[in-house]
Structure 1
Amino acid sequence: MRRIYAILLLLNICACSNDSSNRNPFLQEINFRFDANLNLPTYSPLSNTGSAVWVPTQGVGLRGVFIINVGFDQFRAFEASCPNHVPNDCSTMILDGQLVTCACEDYQYSLFTGQLLNRPDDDDGDTRYYDMLEYRASFNGSSVTVSN
């Protein structure tokens, strides 16, 4: 009987996962909800596949969000603050088509994937680089809802 309890305890411990290693230490995650009405001129570019907009609204993300139409009524939304350092004067990224660039180090990210495209080649291997922080994006009729 003790052996069964020991095995169950071991399985329970092994089944637990710790996602804290994936957590970006530079960006705090905040709760928000934002609706982008595609009938409004500001968000109407999102009606076209591959088009992106920056939403700099206070309280929507840390420094706003980027929303992109990735096709087939699917949208993705990402934090506008560079994920590889603490938010500061130069950390709000600049939208250029389907790419965004951090003015601090010229890191460039894809809005289709959120991936850092020009990851530095560090000799020490100890530096960790983060991809963009993604938020939930859902499409309903003529509105894209972004939330966290």
Structure 2
Amino acid sequence: MKQFFALFLLIFTFLGCSSDDDLRRNPYLPHLNFSVNFDLSLPEYNQLNFPGNKFVTRNYGINGIVIFNLNNDQYMAFELTDPNHVPQPCSTLTVEGTEAVCSCGDGNKYTIITGQQIAGEGEYSLKPYRVERVGNVLRVSN
């Protein structure tokens, strides 16, 4: 009987485990694997050498990424697809100052500083990407 109880407890423990990422996985946005380097010594990325500046590229991610320099030690990178829509032409976000704006008519707006939704409807914030600075190079990946 003790063996049955121990086995039951072990199975229950394994089945009950899940990560927060699984619980909060966005059903609208596909998961992409990529890694890209941005050399901050190149003129194209020069604005990322100064806190409060951003860089937008449409070459990576689903509909592009935005990188924001918070303080030269912390950089934020987010997907430029509205996380509260299935990807479609209107869900491509445009960056206006420090806000990413959706054109699907629902008023969705997000801050590119934290990724949080600041207007509109939905339960998901912007999809974040990892940013690592090594010397003069930013590596953005997921």
The TM-score, its normalising length taken from structure 2, stands at 0.86
Which one-letter code corresponds to 1:91 in the other structure? Answer: S
Match of 1:123 in 2: none
Unpaired segments of 5 or more residues in structure 1? 121-127
Specify the SS of the correspondent of 1:61: coil
> Do residues 144 (structure 1) and 135 (structure 2) align?
no
Task: State how 1:16-55 maps to structure 2 within 5 Å.
Answer: 16-17=17-18, 19-55=21-57
> In 2, Cα distance between the equivalents of 1:142 and 1:89?
35
Matched residues, number: 138
* 1:10-67 deviation per Cα after TM superposition (whole angstroms, max 9, x unaligned): 33433x115433111111011111111112222111111111110111xx10111100
Moved over 3 A (4+): 3-14, 18-21
Structure 2: tracts of 5 or more residues without a match? none
- Counterpart-to-counterpart distance in 1, 2:83 and 2:34: 18
AA aligned opposite 2:97: G
- Equivalent residue runs for 1:1-148 within 5 Å: 1-2=2-3, 3-14=5-16, 16-17=17-18, 19-57=21-59, 60-105=60-105, 106-120=107-121, 128-148=122-142
Separation in 2 of the partners of 1:17 and 1:103?
35
Identity of paired residues, percent? Answer: 34
Decide whether aligned partners of structure 1 residues 11 and 109 sit closer, same or farther in structure 2, where only a CA change above 3 A counts. Answer: same
Q: CA deviation at 1:98?
A: 1.5
C-alpha root-mean-square deviation of aligned residues, in Å?
A: 1.8
Tell me how far apart the structure 1 counterparts of residues 40 and 61 of structure 2 sit (CA, whole Å): 20
